[in-house]
Amino acid sequence: MAGTEREAATVLDAVRAIVPTLRENGKEGEDQRWISEQNLELLEKADVFRTGVPKRFGGLELSVPQHIDLLLEISRGCGSTGWVCEGFITAAWMVRLFPERAQQEVYAGGSARVSGGFTPSGTLVPTEGGYLLNGAWRFNTGCRGADWNLAATNLHHPDGTVQQMLTVVPIGDITFDDDWDTMAAAATGSSTTFATDVFIPAHRAIDMGEAFAAGGGEPTGPGEGRDYGLISVVMAESTSTLIGMAQGAYDLFLERVHRPLSYTAWQDQAEHPLTQIQVATAANQLAAARALLAAQAGIVQERADAGERLTTEERATLRGQCGFAVKLAREATQTLFAASGASAIQRSLPIQRFFRDVQGFSMHAVMTPDANLEVYGRVLLGLDPNTTVL
């Protein structure tokens, strides 16, 4: 087993060992609207936040399939924790798109927690040595536990032209609004963040269009294997969290299935033919979702290993298959929750939290395979919104 494979296996084993604790802390996270500090400490100890950092800075630099394995397990324990970790890992990877000096600053120590607001709702004005940043960003997942923050913004040039930029900012320069209070994703702490006349050195700002379109410059050739297209890696790793949450609901359903069915003669729900069909259907949906995601993640990694970009058709297929995998995970969770009986609505039973989280997270723009996302996807692929993707 290669060194990176051994390191990935070690982190995965450590995460599997803490899944019960992540799940047990779920209610606390919801109550305080931010994941348990113990969850963060356990994940830090397991080296999860080193996995998106390049090896030359002391990180583990795991591959997309390896990240997906981790996120599936974390999300099986706690959906909000899994979503926050996906954000931290993906945003940490994105820092490699910045100049060397910025990478040295963010990656110092070999572990990085980076949050991000990717709607360009700020303004960037040139000043001596860099820029001044102002703005507000909603739904900034993980900002309450991050060390750095990515903020998308509009650079206003003296000639009146506007350029979309991505900046990386120390979290201490960002303020928060206590406005995150939701029925799903409740522990992600996705507050609105603000910047007021924050100085951004020139090396901490890059062209956002180039980053989104190409994953950071031209392919570097075979061997590096971490030069992904941004949207593709975000889509694949986000999808893994939804499948992990659905797997958590499946595990919890099986823990309670040997119970009497109220107002019937059935003393063991597991013996009822309808329950058996429901469980089998959910298991097949989860297996199919995992297979779809694994195939797409494999293509993303294969292209990166070869120093190539995904084709337009491959990127469109990835979006479609990841979207369908999310749909399967949502349907499986709905079936299992509906079969859990009225007692499952108690907040002390975590299956209701998995049900709410899957419904909520699947409404995210990149997760929903509907007509609006189809148009959005065409734009991200650089195509005319009125053309056919495939």
Query: pLDDT of 245-297, one tens digit each?
Result: 999 999 999 999 999 999 999 999 999 999 999 999 999 999 999 999 999 99
Q: Which among 172, 216, 210, 176 is positioned nearest to 194, based on CA atoms?
A: 176
**What sign for the dihedral angle of Cα 49, 368, 176, 230?**
positive
Render pLDDT for 100-150 as a digit per residue (tens, 0 to 9).
999 999 999 899 999 997 889 999 999 999 999 999 999 999 999 999 999
Q: Which among 333, 373, 339 is positioned nearest to 184, based on CA atoms?
A: 333
Question: Six-digit token pair at 329?
Answer: 């995970």
**What sign for the dihedral angle of Cα 367, 249, 89, 325?**
negative
Banded model confidence at residue 311, pLDDT cuts 50, 70, 90 = very high
Render pLDDT for 332-368 as a digit per residue (tens, 0 to 9).
999 999 999 999 999 999 999 999 999 999 998 777 6
Separation of alpha carbons 358 and 374, rounded Å: 21
Which DSSP letter does residue 3 get? Answer: H
Looking at residue 379, its pLDDT comes to 42
The length of the chain in residues reads: 390
Separation of alpha carbons 330 and 343, rounded Å: 21
User: How many of the other CB atoms lie within 10 Å of CB of 298?
Assistant: 14
Q: Which among 83, 48, 81, 82 is positioned nearest to 66, based on CA atoms?
A: 48
Which DSSP letter does residue 258 get? Answer: S
Continuous H helices in the chain? 3-24, 26-32, 37-45, 64-77, 79-94, 100-106, 208-214, 230-256, 273-305, 312-338, 351-361, 371-380
Separation of alpha carbons 270 and 28, rounded Å: 31
Largest Cα span, the chain = 79
